[in-house]
Structure 1
Amino acid sequence: MKQLLALLSVTSLLLLAGCSNVYSQEDGYRMAVINQGFPVPKNAYEVKPEECTDEISKAAKYKLQGIGDEDGNPPDHYLRTIEEWGWTELVEDRRGAIHFYEKNGKIMSLNIRENVFDVFEMTSETAS
């Protein structure tokens, strides 16, 4: 009986941990680790980011179930939240699933893929 109870407890913990990292607009947003003015979903967890390049000064990579579909399209609520936080999308610079935003002279890039996304702080304006 104790073994069954222990197994049920472990299984419940695993289910709770697995469900906690799924995109939900109700969970809200927090500041990105690389730019405190750029929102990321609260329940996204950071993983090792991509290497920075001449165009990228800072990078952060997050995992989150349901953040993007197989084509890299993010949830509309997340895009609206970015704009509510004062960022303006540079629509002419968009490259597929890569979105660029500007605020107070800073350029941020958001690259969404299925269940993972990158946030980059750019060193200069993007070239169209």
Structure 2
Amino acid sequence: MKRIFILLLVVGTMMGCANTFSEEEGYRISLINYSFPIPKNAGELKPEACTDEITKSAKYKLKNIGGENHEGPQTHYLNEIHEWGWTPIDEESSELVRYFSKEDKTVCVVFSKHVIDVFEINKDATSNENP
């Protein structure tokens, strides 16, 4: 009985350990664009399929990246994106869907509570809808 309890405790601890957004961890380059930052401790997930409007996509899991109460992305992360040279496109953005541009590239970031979807938008796409 004691062994079962210890096994359950160890397994439960490992399953509960998820990387949480932390500005102290720093940032790294994203899989879709070398100049777009992703929190260093974000884990990679299988991305969404590309479409005519999306040329590249990446998906990352990180606890509370969309805020503890799903109120939107962490301010420090948005500031970091700006520091890496990306300009927000406010007229196309909402609280949980943000667009950024740099040089001739446009990136869309969709935030959920624990997941970030990052899309590089096809500049030649005729549709102007959100992914």
Q: TM-score, normalised by structure 2?
A: 0.81
CA offsets 1:27-56 (integer angstroms, 9 cap, x no match): 011000111100000111111111111110
Would the aligned equivalents of 2:37 and 2:84 in 1 still touch at CA under 8 Å? yes
Count of residues in Structure 1 that have an aligned counterpart in Structure 2: 125
Q: What percentage of residue pairs aligned between the two structures are identical?
A: 43
Would the aligned equivalents of 1:66 and 1:114 in 2 still touch at CA under 8 Å? yes
Runs of 4+ in 1 over 4 A off after TM superposition: none
3-state DSSP class of the match of 1:79? Answer: helix
Hey, what does 2:56 align to over in structure 1?
Answer: 58
In the alignment, structure 2 segments of 5+ residues that lack a partner are none
CA offsets 1:39-97 (integer angstroms, 9 cap, x no match): 00011111111111111000001111010135450000000000000000000111441
Q: TM-score, normalised by structure 1?
A: 0.83
- Aligned equivalents of 1:72 and 1:108: distance in 2? 21
Hey, what does 2:128 align to over in structure 1?
Answer: 127
Q: CA RMSD in A?
A: 2.7
Alignment of 1:94-113 (within 5 A): 94-113=93-112
